[in-house]
């Protein structure tokens, strides 16, 4: 007897007046906006200009969507090119189907193009975006809930997901809500990266590498729970092997980067520091004009400010880089 479960929506479309908006697309859009907002805050805190993250995202997001769709279509080609299937469905991205591996890989290419145009080191930009990407994934996974897809094995746990659709081979019943597991895991990854970045002053792409490695750990066991059709190699789903490979690459990059490029970039965007100094000079001049009829000079003078000292990296460095590197 079922006492509690997570209900599935009866339909995957949200009507905004006369405009139908699919729940899957809505989750992706909200995730992108949150990632850019959080990334912009972190980028400014690192010494960059406001708006730079959004400008580069104009390149990264379209590339990421194309890459995510390509990975999904290639690894699940039977859904679009087997007998009885319509290959045109491969272009219907709003119906679901984005592979995070392809999205990150192609998104990095788009970000690289945007960073080169702005003279910005890609690793520093990726470090600023890392937690935001994890949060975007957490939000995006709820799109699978709208589509009643990518759930796990059968269960009668109180938080089981109730599947009601019988389309495309689904069997109505209660299953592990793997979309929820991954969403919560991604939130944890974002918190971990933010904490580690503040504690160890990660630089040169190491915050991004930490995000990738920690995400892969969660994706491995969550992927193992899923029951949807997938290609297998030596008894493991293809995405499990991908998670293992990407995890190893991320850890290797983290260790090598910490040894060869210790510390954090002191300059992440050329000219940003000068802009802030000019802005500060303009503010001081305005204050002087307002206080022009005062007899004492200290009415417009301010104390010196000291810049915060750099803390040591996760692997103790001997020195820090004086300028940003291209990654």
What mean pLDDT is predicted for residues 165-176?
86
What is the predicted pLDDT for the residue at 230?
80
- Choose between 297 and 11: higher pLDDT: 11
Return the higher-pLDDT residue of 305 and 70.
70
Residue 101's nearest CA partner among 204, 240, 194 is: 240
What pLDDT is stored for residue 276 in this prediction?
66
**Token pair 């580069």 in the structure block, residue:** 56
pLDDT at 277: 66
Model confidence pLDDT, tens digit, residues 16-39: 777 777 888 889 999 999 999 999
Residue 232's DSSP bridge partners are 237
- Return the structure tokens found at 163: 């599947």
> Can you give the pLDDT at residue 316?
46
CA distance 43 to 51: 9
The predicted structure's pLDDT at residue 42: 97
Q: Write the CA distances from 106 to 114, 124, 236, integer angstroms.
A: 13, 18, 25
Enter the DSSP assignment of 100.
H
Q: Interior CA angle at 156 toward 153 and 160, to 5°?
A: 70
CA atoms lying within 13 Å on the CB side of residue 17: 0
Q: Which residues have CB under 8 Å from 166's CB, separation 6+?
A: 172
- The 8-class DSSP code of residue 88 comes to G
Torsion, Cα 185 190 195 200, to 10 degrees, reads 110
Q: Specify the pTM.
A: 0.80
Cα–Cα distance list, 147 to 61, 70, 207, 218 (Å): 22, 20, 32, 22
Give the pair of three-digit tokens for residue 183. Answer: 């969403």
Q: Is the pLDDT at 295 greater than 60, yes or no?
A: no
**28-53: average pLDDT:** 95
* Range from 76-90, 143-157, 159-173, 251-265 carrying the lowest mean pLDDT: 76-90
> What mean pLDDT value characterizes the chain?
83
Residue 243 CA to chain centroid, in angstroms?
A: 16
């Amino acid at each position: 007897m079922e006492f509690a479960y997570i209900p599935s929506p009866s339909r995957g479309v949200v009507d905004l007046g006369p405009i139908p908006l699919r729940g899957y697309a809505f989750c992706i859009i909200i995730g992108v906006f949150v990632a850019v907002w959080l990334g912009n805050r972190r980028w400014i805190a690192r010494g960059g200009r406001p708006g730079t993250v959004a400008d580069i995202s104009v390149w990264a997001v379209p590339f990421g969507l194309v890459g995510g769709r390509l990975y999904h279509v290639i690894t699940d080609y039977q859904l679009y090119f087997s007998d009885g299937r319509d290959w045109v469905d491969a272009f219907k991205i709003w119906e679901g189907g984005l592979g995070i591996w392809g999205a990150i890989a192609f998104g990095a290419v788009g970000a690289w193009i945007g960073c080169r145009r702005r003279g910005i080191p890609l690793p520093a930009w990726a470090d600023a975006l890392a937690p935001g990407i994890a949060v975007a994934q957490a939000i995006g996974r709820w799109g699978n809930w709208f589509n009643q897809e990518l759930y796990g094995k059968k269960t009668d746990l109180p938080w089981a997901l109730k599947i009601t659709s019988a389309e495309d081979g689904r069997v109505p019943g209660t299953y592990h809500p793997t979309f929820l597991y991954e969403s919560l895991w991604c939130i944890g990854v974002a918190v971990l990266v933010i904490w580690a970045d503040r504690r160890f002053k990660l630089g040169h792409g190491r915050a991004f590498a930490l995000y990738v490695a920690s995400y892969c750990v969660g994706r491995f066991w969550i992927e193992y729970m899923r029951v949807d059709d997938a290609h297998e190699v030596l008894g493991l789903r293809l995405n499990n092997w991908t998670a293992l490979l990407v995890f190893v690459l991320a850890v290797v990059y983290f260790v090598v980067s910490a040894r060869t490029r210790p510390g954090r970039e002191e300059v992440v965007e050329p000219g940003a520091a000068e802009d802030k100094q000019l802005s500060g000079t303009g503010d001081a001049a305005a204050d002087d004009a307002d206080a022009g009829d005062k007899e004492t000079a200290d009415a417009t003078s301010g104390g010196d400010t000291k810049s915060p000292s750099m803390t040591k990296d996760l692997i103790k460095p001997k020195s820090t880089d004086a300028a940003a590197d291209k990654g």
